[in-house]
Structure 1
Amino acid sequence: MRPGCSNPPPRGDQNTYGLCNELQERSYGRQVSPYIKVSGTSTNTPKNRKFWRENLPRLKYHNPSVPMIVNRHSRNNKKPTLSIYLRKPDASTPAPATRSQPSSSRNNMSKATPPDADEKIITVDMTEKHSSHILEYVLAETRAVPIKPTKEEIRELQELDAMARQAEVDRARMRSLREEKKREEDMLKRARAAGGVAEEEDS
């Protein structure tokens, strides 16, 4: 059994399950570092937003030992990019046990670092690219291995989907009840206000 592939992902990723990306074992992957724009801009669209909101957490879930750093910033003139660090196939020295890795940042403090001597870097311009195309490119470059969920995992995912649908129904019902209550309160206020005007006219 592949490590990290035995259990379904957390609830927030139930719709993106079914991929186990063995970056380190199969292609010596070190770092997946997407640079995503936070402020509204034509390059930060739903086309590529799904990749770092859904696909990237799924990859991280199945590969907890592979650093994946997100660097967010508000520079609208800078293209959103995805940087993948891979060990060179002709590298003669063993890969170091550990490498210096920055943490994710919301204020442009985790910029992509230059590759080490035994590494190469692949950069993807995510501007106006659909998430599915970005994911396909990542899988091709890293030789990732897609896997199918087990019957038990499918059952658990179906239960989570059913819970999510029921939660949406419950939220809609509560929203309707609140709106109905507000309408009744507004009608009562108007009736009271109208009654006060009538009393003044009678007096």
Structure 2
Amino acid sequence: MVAVVRRMRKLRALLAIRLGPGAAILPPEVTRIHMDFAVDIHDGHHGPRKFWRNCLPRLKYHNPAVPMTVNRTINQTGPALMTVDFTSPKAAATIKPEISSTTDKQTSTGPVPESKAGPPTERTEVINMKHRHDSEILEQLLRLTKAKVVRPTAEEQREIQEMEEQNAKSERDANMMAKVNAKRKREEEILEQARGEVEAIQE
């Protein structure tokens, strides 16, 4: 049973990053994505923050070579923008980008290799994220970049079904245990009350 639970936890973590909002493959013409939004969620910055938390990790997982950077400012009334850089199809075909990392010389304790120059930026598009839900931001990004949404394979669908069945079983077991515990507690309370009454009579 422990092995099944452990496997389900690992499977849940893997499927959570592989599938869901943001799981999409960008075309090779997309060379960089950058987000600017405020630290706090007020004044229209809630959607951008949710996108950063929920969608960006999946997008990065499926597009490791595309640099994705985030700048969180203290200017709460400022804009919330996503900047997407594109190169030409010809340049994208001739230059193979290296796998990108968020590590830089300011955050890493180890040596950081110099990055090679990526394809030249041909055009830049900007998405206004302020006062918009994360789903709206994602929809516009997918439409703008013509990214291909990652769908679950037959094996992954089977695993998802397995996981849902296991979750349902766990929930049933938890409800059953809660009922058993509640019944035991009631019985203990009744027994305790009876003892109290017996002691009162004896006195």
What's the TM-score bracket when you normalise by the shorter of the two chains? Answer: 0.5 to 0.7
Contact 1:14 1:157 (C-alpha < 8 Å) held by counterparts: no
Gaps of 5+ in 1: 1-8, 105-117
Q: Which residue of 2 aligns with 1:10?
A: 14
Aligned match of 2:148: 146
Instruction: Give the structure with the larger helix fraction.
Output: 2
What residue identity is the alignment partner of 2:44? Answer: T
SS at match of 1:69: strand
Map 1:6-45; keep pairs closer than 5 Å. Answer: 10-12=14-16, 13-16=18-21, 19-22=24-27, 25=28, 27=29, 29-35=30-36, 41=42, 43=44, 45=46
Aligned CA RMSD, in angstroms, stands at 4.2
Match of 1:135 among 125, 131, 138: 138
After TM superposition, the structure 1 stretch with the greater mean CA deviation from structure 2, 77-86 or 154-163, is 77-86
* TM-score, L = length of structure 1: 0.59
Q: Residue deviations 1:101-122, cap 9 Å, x none?
A: 7549xxxxxxxxxxxxx65654
User: Does the C-alpha gap of structure 1 residues 159 and 76 become closer, same or farther in structure 2, counting only changes over 3 Å?
Assistant: farther
Residue number in structure 2 paired with 1:192 = 191
Where structure 2 has 5 or more consecutive residues not aligned to the other structure, the ranges are: 1-12, 105-119
**Which residue of 1 is the match for residue 115 of structure 2?**
none
- What does 1:48-197 align with in structure 2 at a 5 Å threshold? 51-71=51-71, 77=77, 80-87=80-87, 102-103=102-103, 119=121, 122-142=125-145, 144-146=146-148, 149=151, 154-197=153-196
- State the shift of 1:134 in Å: 1.7
Matched AA of 2:25: C
Q: 1:159 to 1:101 in 2, by over 3 A?
A: closer
- Give how far 1:54 is off: 4.5
Size of the aligned set, in residue pairs, is 170
Partners of 2:136 and 2:45 in 1: CA distance: 15
For 2:176 and 2:72, locate their aligned partners in 1 and report how far apart those are by CA, in whole Å. Answer: 40
2:34–2:69 Cα contact (<8 Å) kept: yes
1:21 CA drift (Å): 0.9
TM-score (norm 2): 0.59
Assess if the C-alpha contact under 8 Å between 1:31 and 1:66 holds in 2: yes
**8 A contact 2:23–2:55 mirrored in 1:** no
| Cα 1:171–1:37 shift into 2, 3 Å | farther
Q: 1:200 to 1:37 in 2, by over 3 A?
A: farther
When residues 190 and 75 of structure 1 are mapped into structure 2, their CA distance, relative to the original with a 3 A threshold, is farther
Distance in 2 between residues matched to 1:14 and 1:186, nearest whole Å: 43
